[in-house]
Amino acid sequence: MKKTKQFFLVVFLVILIVVLFYKNGIETTPYQAIVKKQNSCISCHIEMQGFSLAHTPDKVSCTACHLGNAFAIDKKKAHKEMLLVPGNLSNASETCAKCHVGIDLRVKNSMMNTMSGIISVDKYVFGENKNLDSIFSIHHLKNSTKAESHLRNKCASCHIGNEKKYPNPITEKSRGGGCLACHLNYNEETKKAHQEYITSNKEQLTKYHPSISLKVTDNHCFGCHSRSGRVATNYEGWHETIYKDTLYGNPKYRVLEDKRVFEKQPADIHHTIGMSCIDCHDSYEVMGDGIKYAHQEESVKVRCSDCHTKQSDIKSQTNTIAFSELEASEQRIIRLRKLDTTMQFLRAEKSNRTLLNVIRTRKQNYLITKNTSQKILISKQSESCTSEVHKNVSCSTCHTSWIPQCISCHTKFDKDEDGYDLLAKDWTMGKWIEKGNDYLAEYPTLGIVERNGKKIVKTFAPGMIMSLQQKEEIKESFHRLFAPVSAHTISKKGKACIDCHNNPVVLGYGRGKLRFTKNGTWQFQPKYPKAQDKLPQDAWIGFLKNDTIHKATRINARPFSLLEQQKILRVGACLTCHKEKTKEIKLLLNDYQKALKKRSDKCIPSKF
């Protein structure tokens, strides 16, 4: 009896000491540390490192991201309902959005998640959608029509809502993954630890956790954006070819992980000087602004003129905002990036959003790269850019050096081939087979986009000049559609006048010989034979013809009208003899009628 009393007395004293110590903030046992931090994970994963400063376990509980039971010591109980890969859009509301409020809704409505434009155009070609501005979502795509089958077989993996099931580094083949598709980073130590974990049959606990941060490299964008318009490869100066993967080691060629072969071309000037994709495209463009858009260009609000301003704007300090006037979230990002808070930050003209990495002094604009903190001097608009003559000409019209083009595509369905459903992630009977013969990297075709009552000259590429056979028992159909393209192949030096005014590809006629004759008329001899619609294979419009059938992937887009073609070629006639920097051409640009009156007897004006 006496021993029993002594035992209970000892137990009482131990409990009292523990309570007093815990009350005073002294952690006497590992369990107390676990309870206080609400994180039992560290009892097993105690050596884990590699976190970014904002996501260390003492600031963010492991279960805030991975869920599970933060108080359980038993492994099975602790891991119950745990997420191996958090951040997928299926769980973003329970994980990332608990801290980053509202971000899940923005991303779910973004173009990177809906793929609306791709679906709309694809269904239009298959005759299943009459309105090119319809809004679709890849997550609502069924498998009951030919277009839906084609999308699920060829296109449906490239959306950010594509579920990532297993932890692994970002590669050229990466698709989806929600928030972590962009914000997850593996350094060399983390990659090595991950590989050791895999080779140990997932028995060896890794000591390194990939970091989650604001660092979004071009490699994160590459997996999806090296497809379709190929902007990721274009930006780095690589153009896809039809060659096979036998060119490893040749510096003129690059073989991707999926075995496609790319040939070296001029890189975008922004890539050359060290800028990443996110240096231009802010979070509201990448992650969305909450609004559903029909096409990508509607969601992109950034403009070249936001950074490359006029000299007069710099002097007047227009479109700037001080650090103290920014929203709390913007101030936090600037502090995280360790930028100078005394500077004036630029506001974008169209979106009115702050460009958090672009600052303005009294003399100049500067860009601070988001991943490397490199300070880059931004050039001002030249005299040619501010000229009234080309006020409706987009910057990319003159500064795009090349665009990838395919002009002989064949798509057919083979019911006997094994296909793969990219949404269901399962094999299926029947496969869509696509073949192309001519992959070209040349000047883009130009055309008109009409928006808000204005006509803007933009760059276009043949989105599809193709034959389509939906079923073996029916005849193939022919389609010719040009698409507005931002190729991301910007050059510092703009085109010469003759590059546009005397170029049949630019005018929409296709490749061939465009010649101004001595009697004041124009002649064109196409290089490629005529297709089923009687136009040269690579053309958008007939030579000196009006467009009679809509041949664009946008309702508000079209090739040059006959009058617009004639206007361009009138200047082209003069450029066959006169150099563009001569006084005659300068006068021609400023006052065409006055220039005609001053022409010499040797001049032969165009007969229209």
Q: How many CB atoms lie within 10 A of CB 326?
A: 17
Q: What proportion of the chain, given as a percentage, has pLDDT over 90? A: 67
- At 152-187, the pLDDT tens digits run 999 999 999 999 999 999 999 999 999 999 999 999
- At 466-507, the pLDDT tens digits run 999 998 778 899 999 999 999 999 999 999 999 999 999 999
> Distance between alpha carbon 20 and the CA centroid of its chain, in Å?
58
Q: Tell me the angle at which helices 116-125 and 146-154 cross, rounded to the nearest 10 degrees.
A: 130
Nearest to 500 by CA among 469, 455, 531, 459: 459
* pLDDT at residue 19 in the model: 47
The pLDDT-based confidence of 18 (bands split at 50, 70, 90) is very low
Contact 149, 197 (CB under 8 A): no
> Distance between alpha carbon 40 and the CA centroid of its chain, in Å?
40
- At 276-327, the pLDDT tens digits run 999 999 999 999 999 999 999 999 999 999 999 886 666 666 689 999 999 9
- At 583-607, the pLDDT tens digits run 888 887 777 788 878 888 788 877 7
Region 77-105: what's the mean pLDDT? 94
Task: Please give the mean pLDDT across all residues of the chain.
Answer: 89
* pLDDT at residue 438 in the model: 81
3 state DSSP class of 9: helix
* pLDDT at residue 171 in the model: 95
How far apart, in Å, are the Cα atoms of 253 and each of 205, 264, 401, 480?
40, 6, 19, 30
Q: Is the pLDDT of residue 28 over 50?
A: no
* pLDDT at residue 316 in the model: 62
Contact 473, 466 (CB under 8 A): no
* pLDDT at residue 315 in the model: 60
Q: How many CB atoms lie within 10 A of CB 26?
A: 10
Region 58-65: what's the mean pLDDT? 89
The pLDDT-based confidence of 38 (bands split at 50, 70, 90) is low
Q: Is the pLDDT of residue 6 over 60?
A: no
* pLDDT at residue 313 in the model: 65
- At 425-434, the pLDDT tens digits run 999 999 999 9
* pLDDT at residue 492 in the model: 94
Nearest to 239 by CA among 248, 228, 247, 230: 230
Q: Is the dihedral of CA 541, 547, 553, 556 positive or negative?
A: positive
Q: Is the pLDDT of residue 5 over 80?
A: no
**Which sequence spans correspond to the domains of the chain?**
19-82, 388-512+527-568
pTM: 0.89
- At 518-546, the pLDDT tens digits run 899 999 999 999 999 999 999 999 999 99
Task: Return the structure tokens found at 485.
Answer: 């393209």
Instruction: Rounding to the nearest 10 degrees, give the CA dihedral for residues 118, 121, 125, 131.
Output: 150
Contact 173, 257 (CB under 8 A): yes
Contact 555, 451 (CB under 8 A): no
